[in-house]
């Protein structure tokens, strides 16, 4: 029943008239659909994570702020930045991410990115616009599992082939 409610909220008339005006869209409609249908659900133990590239924090960021500060309270050396939002499973491992194969849907529709790092349960530094990456700092920089990396790399290569085939098809249709 909950899934039917989600589908109804994302039908064009309801989506354009209510769902996207009262919320941010498809993600909220999932939770609303379950709640409004009385279907039980639970939230994850972790807040959303960031998935992207590892970035070294600029000079001075890893220095103690004063002589009495311990090494454990020093500012972090690295952060993870990207456009992908990820979620950890109950085991703390990367479970799922949104954002697709493109580095940035808003900035460049042809630049792909295979994110190699992720961070969860740390401080978010949101990008100012949709074209700006968001970062997370203050947590453990974690590598993406090698099997997941392999699947993402293969998927990007397949997407590039599909793009080329589609471009040829469009060119043929226009001639």
pTM of the model: 0.67
Domain co-membership, 148 together with 67: yes
142: nearest Cα among 66, 33, 50: 50
Tokens read off for 161: 């082939």
- Same structural domain for residues 7 and 88? no
Residue 43 lies in a domain: no
Name the β-bridge partners of 136: 80, 124
17-31, 84-98, 138-152, 156-170, range with the lowest pLDDT: 17-31
Query: What SS3 class is residue 142?
Result: strand
| Count of domains observed in the chain | 2
Residue 53 near residue 82, CB atoms below 8 Å: yes
**Contact status, residue 71 vs residue 78, Cβ threshold 8 Å:** no
Nearest to 112 by CA among 100, 97, 102, 98: 102
Is 126 in the same domain as 162? yes
pLDDT tens readout for residues 64-122: 344 444 444 555 689 999 988 899 988 889 998 887 788 877 777 788 889 999 999 99
- Confidence check: pLDDT of 150 > 60: yes
Q: Are residues 65 and 149 in the same domain?
A: yes
On whether both 69 and 132 belong to a single domain, the answer is yes
Burial (CB < 10 A; 0-12, 13-18, 19+), residue 9, is buried
The model's confidence at residue 25, banded by pLDDT at 50, 70 and 90, is low
Q: Alpha-carbon distance 145 to 160, whole Å?
A: 23
Predicted pLDDT at 51: 92
- Residue 27 placed within a domain: yes
Does residue 29 sit in the same domain as residue 98?
no
Q: Where are the beta strands (DSSP E) in 57-153?
A: 78-88, 94-98, 102-104, 108-112, 117-119, 123-125, 134-137, 142-143
Are 23 and 60 part of one and the same domain?
no
**Residue 126 domain-assigned?**
yes
Q: Is position 42 within any domain?
A: no
| Residue 41 within a domain | no
Mean pLDDT of 133-143: 93
Q: Tell me the average pLDDT across 130-147.
A: 91
Verify that 62 and 31 share a domain, yes or no.
Answer: no
Confidence at 63, pLDDT banded by 50, 70, 90 = very low
Tell me: do 107 and 65 sit in the same domain: yes
First vs last C-alpha separation in the chain: 49
Which domain, by its residues, includes 21?
2-36
56 domain-assigned: yes
Cα(15)–Cα(8) distance, integer angstroms: 8
Residue 134 lies in a domain: yes
């Amino acid at each position: 029943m909950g899934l039917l409610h989600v589908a109804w909220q994302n039908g064009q008339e309801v989506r354009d008239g209510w769902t996207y005006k009262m919320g941010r869209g498809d993600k909220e409609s999932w939770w609303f659909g379950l709640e409004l249908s009385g279907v039980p659900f639970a939230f994850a133990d972790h807040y959303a994570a960031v998935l992207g590239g590892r970035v070294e924090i600029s000079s001075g960021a890893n220095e103690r702020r004063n002589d009495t500060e311990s090494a454990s309270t020093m500012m972090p050396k690295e952060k993870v930045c990207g456009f992908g939002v990820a979620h950890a499973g109950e085991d703390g491992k990367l479970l799922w991410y949104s954002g697709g194969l493109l580095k940035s849907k808003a900035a460049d529709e042809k630049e792909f990115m295979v994110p190699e790092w992720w961070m969860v349960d740390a401080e978010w530094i949101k990008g100012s616009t949709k074209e700006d990456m968001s970062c997370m700092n203050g947590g453990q920089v974690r590598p993406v599992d090698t099997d997941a990396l392999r699947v993402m790399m293969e998927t990007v290569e397949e997407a590039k082939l599909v793009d080329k085939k589609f471009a040829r098809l469009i060119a043929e249709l226009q001639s």
